Structure 1
């Protein structure tokens, strides 16, 4: 498309949620530009290419960004952000959350944004409000956040199959947003503008903190002499995750949920000796677990009192 014609939304999905036109049977319909070639941008660009769209330009500075672009977007030139926008009907802004407002304001101020251009960011924190400068310049705003951790390798494109996307869009662009997500292999979940920060906090607690907890567990197992902690934890954590997704708080188990105050006290003593930096996180998670176990009637009041005393003493003794 040229500058005189606004970008047209992708085809609407057909029955069952999928696009009713196969990518192999249609020409590329949108030229795609990607501002930011971290782990997310190249994967989404590659997925859009598989769906029949045409990545035409990307921006990236670091050597790692250039390697990712070369692997996932071969033949796509790396240029500065304003040049990315110049040739694209759909622009993906795949930059860190804190960078996004200034980037959008700067692109709009320099006249890089075109009338009718689809501008989509992938931040979980923001909705479309952050794109207001681009909207004033005539752009069509979308917030498309893939609920997935990315490695920066081709496996990311495969993992998009069935991946949820947190989507925020004006009513008139909901069909376009839905079609783009489905074409990338994902499933749209509509998130209200004002709910975006809470939605993002929920995902950070679940995914980001999980990595930290698993890392701590593996460190302690190595300290205790286990040679392959990942083999020991794999089945256990897989079962725990499956149980929690299926049964919620009914899946709570372990010494805190049972009210085994003596065991928890021993844990705290061992951590204080061998891994004092982990005491705070153990206490925080144990208190949160106790609260949920009490609220759901899993932890008897008489056992909860002694357990909470141990946790309180553990906090004061650090």
Structure 2
């Protein structure tokens, strides 16, 4: 890390998450060293203008902090494959954004001296700049070795999130909660809009928007702990 706290940040994964995370960290003052190519390079260029498109090895070589934002099934093989190629560097920060994995999946990088961090922002990413506003009002699950936990928490804060520590052994349960909330909400909305469309309601998504948002807000308020103040004496 430079004396002014700026890091050279590289991104492996050009889907919906990686470019947004990169844009958030650039907004926090870090320098982006490169990003790997994806299926929609024009969208990536729109959110990360001028950032070099590089292969994964070059991204790792140039970066002090490597963000690995790839699909769940690809993460273990990518980390171990780069380790076999001797890519990971001593003291380099390696951060993945997968909900289900903690830091164990980064063991091949850690065995070569890299510092493993797991930070999952609880946001439904679109892959556009809209997500930056969502990050500013969200939480992030953070898992890291105790000695470097403050680094992971600081990165979450720089993304705009409030960090919440999730233990390594609890990541699977955490991921289940995230998947349940995401998939169930999506399925219910699709079912309801389909019924309205079937009876001739135009723009069923718009029709249900206020109802769904207010219902979710009420449910979240009910789920949040309530502080009961003692009566005045």
Instruction: Determine the structure 2 residue equivalent to 1:67.
Output: 42
Whole-Å separation in 1 of the counterparts to 2:215 and 2:137 = 22
Whole-Å separation in 2 of the counterparts to 1:117 and 1:177 = 13
Match of 2:16 among 39, 50, 57: 39
Instruction: Report matched runs for 1:155-170 at 5 Å.
Output: 155-170=130-145
Match of 2:125 among 143, 150, 156: 150
Is 1:217 aligned to residue 192 of structure 2?
Answer: yes
Instruction: Determine the structure 1 residue equivalent to 2:93.
Output: 118
Provide the secondary structure at the position in 2 that maps to 1:182. Answer: helix
Distance 1:199 1:140, change over 3 A: same
C-alpha distance after superposition, 1:185-222 (max 9, x if no partner): 11101001011011011111111221121011101111
Whole-Å separation in 1 of the counterparts to 2:79 and 2:85 = 10
Instruction: Determine the structure 2 residue equivalent to 1:51.
Output: 28
C-alpha distance after superposition, 1:249-290 (max 9, x if no partner): xxxxxxxxxxxxxxxxxxxxxxxxxxxxxxxxxxxxxxxxxx
Instruction: Determine the structure 2 residue equivalent to 1:131.
Output: 106
Instruction: Determine the structure 1 residue equivalent to 2:205.
Output: 230
Is 1:88 aligned to residue 25 of structure 2?
Answer: no
Whole-Å separation in 2 of the counterparts to 1:50 and 1:246 = 31
Report if aligned partners of 2:100, 2:175 keep a CA contact under 8 Å in 1: yes
Match of 2:153 among 167, 172, 178: 178
Is 1:245 aligned to residue 202 of structure 2?
Answer: no
Provide the secondary structure at the position in 1 that maps to 2:140. Answer: strand
C-alpha distance after superposition, 1:35-61 (max 9, x if no partner): 001010111101111111000111023
Report if aligned partners of 2:91, 2:115 keep a CA contact under 8 Å in 1: yes
Report if aligned partners of 2:15, 2:38 keep a CA contact under 8 Å in 1: no
Whole-Å separation in 2 of the counterparts to 1:229 and 1:69 = 31
The Cα of 1:235 is off from its aligned counterpart by 2.3
Whole-Å separation in 2 of the counterparts to 1:74 and 1:232 = 36
Aligned residues: 223
Structure with the greater relative contact order (CA < 8 A, sep ≥ 6): 1 or 2? 2
Instruction: Determine the structure 2 residue equivalent to 1:16.
Output: none
The Cα of 1:29 is off from its aligned counterpart by 1.1
Report if aligned partners of 2:121, 2:139 keep a CA contact under 8 Å in 1: yes
Instruction: Determine the structure 1 residue equivalent to 2:229.
Output: none
The Cα of 1:231 is off from its aligned counterpart by 3.2
Given the two structures, how large is their TM-score scaled by the length of structure 2?
A: 0.92
The Cα of 1:28 is off from its aligned counterpart by 6.4
Report which of the two structures shows the higher radius of gyration computed on alpha carbons.
Answer: 1
Whole-Å separation in 2 of the counterparts to 1:61 and 1:237 = 33
Whole-Å separation in 2 of the counterparts to 1:73 and 1:94 = 15
